[in-house]
Amino acid sequence: MTVGELIDRLATINPDRIVVMSKDGEGNSKSPLDDMEECTYVAETTWCGETSPEELTPALEGQGFSEDDILKGGEPALCLWPTN
């Protein structure tokens, strides 16, 4: 799903609803959405992959990130982070 597709689907939903995320594809356990960030996504399989920051910034370097933490060959993505 792209951000545009998500926006189209969200446009039909009451904006006062809380966003809850499932921890897996089977629907085992749920958690409220806490945050989101733009990132790079590299698929390892059709259902799983890794993310990293899109670029190394001084703020990330201050948090201990290095060029080794930036994935290459991925695609732009939006990562949604659950509360738990």
The answer to whether 57 and 69 are in contact (CB under 8 A) is no
Is residue 49's pLDDT more than 80? yes
Count other C-beta atoms under 10 Å from residue 52's C-beta: 19
pTM score, whole prediction = 0.76
**Domain boundary assignment for the chain:** 19-82
pLDDT of 20 > 80? The answer is: yes
